Structure 1
């Protein structure tokens, strides 16, 4: 308990920084000498006559000499590296390139999980309610526009969150995550607050799609980097718990927006609802900024080096192949989230109930994020497990969604079918979004490059998310071709699952050669 309070009150003494190999050797030798001395002194703890009588005075002498030996070992280690404390030397002497030695437990690592939870609440919790937002815009402020045009608001939103990784990842590696998390909370708050009073198409694009989305990206990438540096063995669990923020956020925000948007008070209901959403997200964004702290210190100012830092990772063929898999997945995974409420309304589900489908989807995502995250930690080849989950996501999008919606077409109440689809799709898609950062971190040569590698992947997949919703909207068109949209979403996500499976088989051969 004393050490815990000392750790909390004096975090600068316990930065989990790395020590050179010579320091590790010195500490190991000193500890070995100390144990050897204690063992030899213990043999002398019997009386001089050689019988088995226990001599308390000798035991006291052992305690005094053992304490002196331990103090001498600590002093030698401190003299070799005076910038480190004794606590650091004996507890935290880890090489950051050796993932087996990452802390994984303790107060500070799990505090970063809280920060990740809040960031996911703000970022993907709001992104997952895009279906409610688009459905409302299409029937109110932007009712004269085509669905494919309105869907650009959601596409640009996803694109900005993804493409910002190119900038955010490099800044985080150089200066740490806090330089972005505090401004990110402000960007999200003021962007959503302005959206509450928007009435024109360009206003929604500037405030929601650009300003608020950039803030969401700052929170997400900052917390993801910090979380990756604290965990190795339980990395999947940590990311699974943090990803629950996405599901909880979408549930809470969908209930808020559903309550205000369906209140029958016209534009004032929308305005009040968005003010509440902005307040909730702004508060949690500040909590994320306060709790996000990485294990490793930033490397400091460096040349941006776009080619060096963002092109070089793709020389690893497995990293390039997995990025391609994520491109396919991002081209389709958000389509059901955006169009589920719209298809339910077209099928005869009441508007209020259709908006609540987003909450059901995120209940499934909550279960899938934790459950699949735990399962991924239990398997050696995480890429094959990810492939199975991604394939299941595509199978739920199509044919399951299409078959159930056709079966209940014309029924008195198609709502049960849509609830089943929402729960199932949320379960699998939540597992995909929760575990893919774990796989990116596994492909990184060092934890210090996690931010840059995440940015490289995000920069590629951003173009997939940019065109996904407009393409799906154009497939739907004015005739309401939702079956074609479902087929597109399911097929392209399953293609991504197949490509990630190829990475899994290649990793299995790599493990075999290494073992």
Structure 2
């Protein structure tokens, strides 16, 4: 082996330096670079122009559990508030009969408006990572405040417990829950929002029937306690199942950051929702009371609210499914126009059959807006400002809800039900017109005017 190795070493050709093996200075490298043909050079890939992968689950066990928890929260908060018409009619004819309908309506208006007014703050706190703390605290406050309603006897007590406390507690949920659903659903966002809104309709159907059945048998205080127990169970399920998909962190900007309103389309859309909500709750607030005033039986009048909410629930689910194909605004605009027609004909409905038909039609017509009005917000600005945009939208909507029903009641008292219907309908019509303008602003960048938007 030694001799073989020696012979191999001896036969190996001597090393001769070549140009390729020589060391080069910087100038030599530049000369070589210029001599290479450009067409043979391959550029390294860059990240510019690449579309980020959308990793939104749009399904799976955890996503559906989050949606279930959101529906439970909607059932106990928005659903409870959708049943206000039953309490309005009951208070007018019993506990608060010395107060005017418009005065009593302030209880429901404050409750419903605070479902949205503080959303600007709570959505910002969601971005900062405080969702779990807010969820637990608000659940406790909401349940305790509902139990306290059973102890109320005078107007200011109802205003505080049923109006302010339950409203503020419910406001913790509305905006943040919608933002969290958007973390789990994108392609099926319409379906998710439709089912979420259907939870509110289910609550608005079940709770009035519960109140109507229990008040004559066990009395008003114990009826409220039963409703509080139902709410406690629903909120417990929501706390156990809903969760954020992405961990929040401290974000830039102040608490009251209105920079998203620099988008003209988003600003006009906020005003569109504002005017729609000026008339939105007028029907469910006064339909039972006005039916009683024209001689319809109390038992039938109370069921009108449940019937309207039940039909709205079906409409919310179907509109959520449809919107994933057609686009949210394409669906909301024509149905808002239908709700305007309902407001015009409502004062002329004097019989039970006519009131039943009007209640069904209003529930169907308002369903798409109820479930989808927050959906376009996701496409009207940057993704990292979603919580802020939802907060701004909900806060403006809350202001409209605060004054909407009392103004409608004042119009009814001074000018009658026909003027009331015209006022509420005109507000919703103006909102639909503004939404059409937003659609036109967005469709400019689309290849076709009749596109999904």
User: Shift of the alpha carbon at 1:492?
Assistant: 0.8
Could you tell me how far apart the structure 1 residues matched to 2:438 and 2:335 are? 14
**1:373 aligns to 2:320 (yes or no):** yes
**1:326 aligns to 2:261 (yes or no):** no
Matched residue of 1:215: which SS? helix
Q: Counterparts of 1:86-165 in structure 2 under 5 Å?
A: 100-165=54-119
Residues 144-184 of structure 1: per-residue CA shift (max 9 Å, x gap) = 11111111111111221111102111011111532221112
> 481, 496, 506: which one pairs with 2:431?
496
TM-score of the two chains, using structure 2 as the length reference: 0.84
User: Shift of the alpha carbon at 1:415?
Assistant: 1.3
Could you tell me how far apart the structure 1 residues matched to 2:388 and 2:227 are? 31
Could you tell me how far apart the structure 2 residues matched to 1:494 and 1:136 are? 31
Residue 246 (structure 2) aligns with: 296
- The answer (yes or no) to whether the contact 2:269–2:438 under 8 Å persists in 1 is yes
Could you tell me how far apart the structure 2 residues matched to 1:465 and 1:212 are? 15
Residue 466 (structure 1) aligns with: 402
Residues 36-72 of structure 1: per-residue CA shift (max 9 Å, x gap) = xxxxxxxxxxxxxxxxxxxxxxxxxxxxxxxxxxxxx
**1:272 aligns to 2:222 (yes or no):** yes
Could you tell me how far apart the structure 2 residues matched to 1:469 and 1:209 are? 14
Residue 432 (structure 1) aligns with: 369
Residues 255-310 of structure 1: per-residue CA shift (max 9 Å, x gap) = 1111123x1x6xx611011111111111111211221112211013766441xx2x
Could you tell me how far apart the structure 1 residues matched to 2:52 and 2:408 are? 44
Matched residue of 1:331: which SS? helix
- The answer (yes or no) to whether the contact 2:82–2:204 under 8 Å persists in 1 is yes
Q: Counterparts of 1:37-56 in structure 2 under 5 Å?
A: none
Q: How large is the Cα RMSD of the aligned pairs? A: 2.0
Residue 307 (structure 2) aligns with: 360
Residue 155 (structure 2) aligns with: 201
Residues 112-159 of structure 1: per-residue CA shift (max 9 Å, x gap) = 110111111112101111111111111111111111111111111122
The number of residue pairs the alignment matches comes to 400
Matched residue of 2:219: which SS? helix
Could you tell me how far apart the structure 2 residues matched to 1:273 and 1:98 are? 53
- The answer (yes or no) to whether the contact 2:314–2:364 under 8 Å persists in 1 is yes
User: Shift of the alpha carbon at 1:370?
Assistant: 0.7
Could you tell me how far apart the structure 1 residues matched to 2:372 and 2:356 are? 24
- The answer (yes or no) to whether the contact 1:236–1:435 under 8 Å persists in 2 is yes
User: Shift of the alpha carbon at 1:478?
Assistant: 6.8
- The answer (yes or no) to whether the contact 2:190–2:328 under 8 Å persists in 1 is no
User: Shift of the alpha carbon at 1:98?
Assistant: 5.3
- The answer (yes or no) to whether the contact 2:260–2:385 under 8 Å persists in 1 is no
Residue 389 (structure 1) aligns with: 335
Residue 32 (structure 2) aligns with: none
**1:454 aligns to 2:412 (yes or no):** no
- The answer (yes or no) to whether the contact 2:88–2:104 under 8 Å persists in 1 is yes
User: Shift of the alpha carbon at 1:498?
Assistant: 1.2
> 324, 328, 345: which one pairs with 2:292?
345
Please say which structure displays the higher CA radius of gyration.
Answer: 2
Q: Counterparts of 1:60-71 in structure 2 under 5 Å?
A: none
- The answer (yes or no) to whether the contact 1:99–1:232 under 8 Å persists in 2 is no
**1:415 aligns to 2:352 (yes or no):** yes
Higher RCO (CA 8 Å, separation ≥ 6 residues): 2
Residue 86 (structure 1) aligns with: none
Residues 159-214 of structure 1: per-residue CA shift (max 9 Å, x gap) = 21111102111011111532221112111111111011101111111111111111
Deviates more, 1:294-303 or 1:236-245: 294-303
Could you tell me how far apart the structure 2 residues matched to 1:294 and 1:430 are? 27
User: Shift of the alpha carbon at 1:363?
Assistant: 1.3
Residues 333-392 of structure 1: per-residue CA shift (max 9 Å, x gap) = 10001001011111221101110111100111111101111111111x432322122222
> 379, 389, 402: which one pairs with 2:347?
402
> 381, 391, 396: which one pairs with 1:444?
381
User: Shift of the alpha carbon at 1:314?
Assistant: 0.6
Matched residue of 1:175: which SS? coil
User: Shift of the alpha carbon at 1:312?
Assistant: 0.6
**1:216 aligns to 2:170 (yes or no):** yes
Q: 1:98 to 1:285 in 2, by over 3 A?
A: farther
Could you tell me how far apart the structure 2 residues matched to 1:402 and 1:259 are? 28
Could you tell me how far apart the structure 2 residues matched to 1:349 and 1:478 are? 22
User: Shift of the alpha carbon at 1:247?
Assistant: 1.0
